[in-house]
Every structure is written in structure tokens, then in C-alpha cells.
Chain A
């Protein structure tokens, strides 16, 4: 297993890799079902909020990031109703799999874990949005780091 994956994500990948296709599919559905639970909860505040509709995704995605003083990240994500099921599943997987990682670790996460979870049959040219959530999380981490660097120069 690639050591550049954060530990919680490594555990999820290992679990998926051992599953037959039918159970892999069922697990993805279960993760997709829990996507609404990844939305911000009442009273939560964030260090960064990035809500937008990009050309490469079918609906609006909101990324909310909180970073603790010891640089551990927590993500919350909101998805528009048109977002595809695989993207919903990936939202839950990444919110859980990247919880506690530092912004620097998030930037280093390789995207090659996606076919290991989803299975080659479900990764298609038209389903590239499964990579989109990771891209948005990395983008949030990058913005947060840039702000930190800018603040430290003042």
C-alpha cells in the first residue's frame, strides 16, 4: 500500500480491495447514502468555505475546511442534487479518509486510489467527477496554506 495515503484512507482502501465486485458496489451505495451526513452541522465554524459550480461537475459542491492548532483538518461537504452517485460515495470516503490529515498531507494524496475503491469497471471517461472531490479538497488545503504563508510574512 502506498505510504502517502493517510491512515484512515488506507484502511478504507484495504477494505474495498478485499471485496468482490458486488459487495464493493454495495459499500459504495452505503457511502453514497451517508453523503448528506458530511454536510456542516449546526454551530460549526470553518477556516475556509468554498462553494461553487464548476464546469466539470454537474452541480454545485461546497467544501468547508477546519484546521486545528496542530494542523489536523476536518472537511464538511455539501452536494447539489444532480451530483452523481459515485461522487457522493467519494465525498463520504474522503471526508472520513482524510480526517485528521495536515494540509500538506492532503496535497500529497495521489489520486490512484480511486480505481482501487471504485473498481476499473466503474471508472469511465464520463465518470471523472469521482476525482473532482479530491481536487476540491486539495484546492482548499492549498488556499489555506497560501493564506498561512502570506500571514507569516506580515
Chain B
């Protein structure tokens, strides 16, 4: 457990803690990356791979899988309803936080993130293996429905939020926020027709929340960023967004678990929906 005055220190574990708990029967490590083949190049012993696109998303329409399919995915990886799932991955845990957020959508509450992610584990020279583990099938009772209403925002809700002047956090790069870029720096264009941001949104790039070694900043530092500089207040009803919802799930994790905000939603449609939507209001400044 890592305690930098976080609201929920129990959700963040160190690389050292993970190394000491590799054999815990009630624990499953899940690696989730942007680099599709990175897990195959080597992963933490006992870790399974869950891919944001092929495992968690519906393969036809832009949405997440059903609770039944999620239950089947978990059972396949030996995850039951009471299994503690520890997520880690590349890109300072973007996709780990995305996978954690998706697990929460299906009501899985026993979740943790390995602070510093894959980068820190590798930087510390810790062991990686290419052996893919196989576990006895789990027993997973699917949730009656996804918790979309609690932690996920849709276009109409985000529009209403903007019109009501409620807090919106745009976690993309400053260039994307200002409308100068219609793609993420160093990434290909993902098909957005208009640049800018949702009216009223504050720009707080996701990267502000992490240190150079990919670990999360302390709660005091995070409060300075999100509250003193961006104007959020404890108890606010917040929507975070980026381009497809992965960087904003990182910020969702920070606000929800590290700062203890109780009403934070991730708008996963994000700018690839908003910037293409006919008639959606846009601000550039």
C-alpha cells in the first residue's frame, strides 16, 4: 500500500508489494497496454493480458461488452467476483486505469493499480517472463447491468454538464485543447473533423498527475493541480474526457481514488465523438 495522503491508499500498490505477493491465490495481475505485443515480449510472472480493444470493447459497435461477456472474460483468466485484481501497463498506466475503470463498470470493486506501471517495474530491473499463465476457471456472477450511470458519461450528459457550467476536465495536450491539433502529439490522426474543446472545460493534461518515473504525485501535489489551479472542489460532479477515454480514465482514477471525489464520470466518447458530432458546440482559446 502507498500512502501519500491519498483518500484511498489501499488502491495503489508498489512494485515491491507486487513482487512480494506474486503467489497470493486471491490476487490476479492484469497487464493492459497500448503496445499490442508488449505483453508477449515479457510480463510479470503470473500476469494475464487484457486488451482494451479486443477484450473489453464490443467488436461491432462502439461500446463495451455485456456483463455476461465480461464474466466469461474474467472466468477465462481465473478471476472470480472476490478476486483482487492488480492492474499495470505501459504509458504510465493509461490502459491499466482504463481497464480498472472498465472493471468498475461491471461492478468489480476489488481493484488496485501498481504505481509506476510497467516502466517502473522494468526500470528497477525486476524479472519479466514470456510464460503465459493458465489458471483454473474462475466463478464470476455477472452484474445485472453495467454501472454506466455512475462512472460513465455520454454525449448528451456531457452537453448538459457544459451548459450547466459544471466542471469538465479536458486531459488532452494543450495543443489539442486549443484546437491547434486534431490528433495526439506523436500519434496518427484518429479521424476528428474539428479541433477545440467542450465549452467551459478546464485543461489539465493527464500527465500533470504523474512523476517522471510514472508514479502518481502526492495528494497534496494533486490537490494543488486540480483544486488550486483548475478550480475543482471536493464534492464536485466532474466529467473528464480526452480522445477515446483512456487518458481520462487515468484522471478519473486520480480524482476518484487518490483525491476521493465521489462523483466523477469518464466521457469515453470523448473528442472522437464530440469533434465529429454535427452541431456540437466547440470553444477554442
Taking the nearest CB of chain A, how far is it from the CB of B6, in angstroms?
A: 29
Interface string of A105-142 (1 = CB under 8 A from B): 00000000000000001101111110000000000000
Is A32 in contact with B186, judged by CB distance below 8 angstroms?
no
Chain A residue with Cβ nearest B186: A58
Is B37 in contact with A89, judged by CB distance below 8 angstroms?
yes
For chain B, residues 163 to 198, give those with C-beta under 8 angstroms from any C-beta of chain A.
185-188, 190-191
For chain A, residues 60 to 114, give those with C-beta under 8 angstroms from any C-beta of chain B.
84-86, 89
Chain B residue with Cβ nearest A56: B188
State in angstroms the CA–CA spacing of A84 and B34 once bound together: 9
A9 contacts chain B at the CB level, 8 A cutoff: no
A28 contacts chain B at the CB level, 8 A cutoff: yes
Taking the nearest CB of chain A, how far is it from the CB of B40, in angstroms?
A: 5
State in angstroms the CA–CA spacing of A32 and B37 once bound together: 9
**A25-B40, A121-B54 are known contacts. Are A85 and B188 too (CB-CB below 8 A)?**
no
A29 contacts chain B at the CB level, 8 A cutoff: yes
Residues of B within 8 A of A121 (CB): 54
Is A124 in contact with B186, judged by CB distance below 8 angstroms?
no
Taking each of B41, B54, B185, which has the highest tally of chain A beta carbons within 10 Å of its own beta carbon? Answer: B41
A55 contacts chain B at the CB level, 8 A cutoff: yes
Residues of A within 8 A of B36 (CB): 84-86, 122, 124, 127
A57 contacts chain B at the CB level, 8 A cutoff: yes
Chain A residue with Cβ nearest B40: A29
Interface size on B, residues (CB 8 A): 16
State in angstroms the CA–CA spacing of A121 and B51 once bound together: 11
User: Interface range on chain A: under 10, 10 to 19, 20 to 34, or 35 or more?
Assistant: 20 to 34
Is A56 in contact with B187, judged by CB distance below 8 angstroms?
yes
Residues of B within 8 A of A55 (CB): 185-186
Residues of A within 8 A of B35 (CB): 84-86
Taking the nearest CB of chain B, how far is it from the CB of A14, in angstroms?
A: 22
B34, B37, B38, B53: the one within 8 Å of A25 (CB): B37
Residues of A within 8 A of B190 (CB): 125-126
Taking the nearest CB of chain B, how far is it from the CB of A93, in angstroms?
A: 13
State in angstroms the CA–CA spacing of A33 and B130 once bound together: 12
State in angstroms the CA–CA spacing of A97 and B269 once bound together: 40
Is A29 in contact with B37, judged by CB distance below 8 angstroms?
yes
Closest 9 CB pairs of A and B: A85-B37, A128-B188, A84-B35, A29-B40, A125-B190, A58-B186, A122-B36, A85-B35, A85-B38
* Contacts beyond the supplied A56-B187, A84-B34, A86-B37: 9 A-B pairs with Cβ under 8 Å: A26-B40, A28-B37, A29-B37, A55-B185, A56-B186, A84-B35, A84-B36, A85-B41, A126-B34
28 A-B pairs within 8 Å (CB atoms) are namely: A25-B40, A28-B37, A29-B37, A29-B40, A29-B130, A32-B37, A33-B41, A55-B185, A55-B186, A56-B186, A56-B187, A56-B188, A84-B36, A84-B38, A85-B35, A85-B36, A85-B40, A86-B35, A124-B36, A124-B53, A125-B188, A125-B190, A126-B187, A126-B188, A126-B190, A127-B36, A128-B188, A129-B188
